[in-house]
A and B are shown apart, each in its own frame.
Chain A
Amino acid sequence: MNDRTKEIIEKTKAFEEGKPVKTVEKPVETPEDKTADEKKFKEETKTTTKKKGKKK
Chain B
Amino acid sequence: MSEGLRTVNGNPAAPPYTGDAYKWDANVTFAQGVNGVIKGTKGKCYYVDEENGADGNDGLTPQTAFASILAATALSRDDYSADAEYHIFIAPGSYDESDDLRLYGYGIHLHGLGNPGSDSGVNITDTNVTQGILLLAGANCTIENIQFTSATALPPLYAIASDNTVITNCVFKGTSGTSVNAIQGEDVRGTEISYCTFGVSNGDYTNNLYMTGGADQYCIDSYFHHNRISSNNTSATGILIDNTCVAYGNVFDNNFINLTGTTPKGIDINSTGVNLITNNYVVITSAATPIESASSPTGIVGNHTMAGSTTVDPNEAAD
Contact = CB atoms under 8 A, between A and B. Distances in A.
Interface of A: 1, 4-5, 7-9, 11-12, 15, 20-23, 25, 27-32, 34
Interface stretch (B40-48, B173-181, B228-236, B270-278): B270-278
Contact of B137 (A8, A20, A25, A30): A8
B161 A11 contact: yes
Nearest to A10: B161
Interface stretch (B6-14, B25-33, B116-124, B243-251): B243-251
B80 A28 contact: no
Interface of B: 80, 104, 131, 135, 137-139, 160-161, 163, 186-187, 214-216, 218, 243-244, 246, 248, 270-273, 294
A29 B104 CA distance: 30
A23 B137 contact: no
Contacts, number: 57
A11 B137 contact: yes
A8 B104 CA distance: 9
Contacts of A27: 216, 246
Given A22-B216, A27-B216, A28-B273, 11 more contacts: A7-B161, A8-B137, A11-B161, A15-B160, A20-B215, A28-B246, A28-B248, A28-B272, A30-B244, A31-B243, A31-B294
B246 A8 contact: no
Contacts of B216: 20-23, 27
Contacts of A23: 187, 216, 218
B271 A31 contact: yes
Nearest to A26: B246
29 contacts: A1-B80, A5-B139, A8-B137, A8-B139, A9-B80, A11-B137, A11-B161, A11-B186, A12-B137, A12-B160, A12-B161, A15-B131, A15-B135, A20-B215, A21-B216, A22-B215, A22-B216, A23-B216, A25-B218, A25-B246, A27-B246, A28-B273, A30-B246, A30-B272, A31-B243, A31-B271, A31-B294, A32-B243, A32-B244
A11 B163 contact: no
Contacts of A21: 216
A29 B80 contact: no
A32 B244 CA distance: 9
Nearest to B248: A28
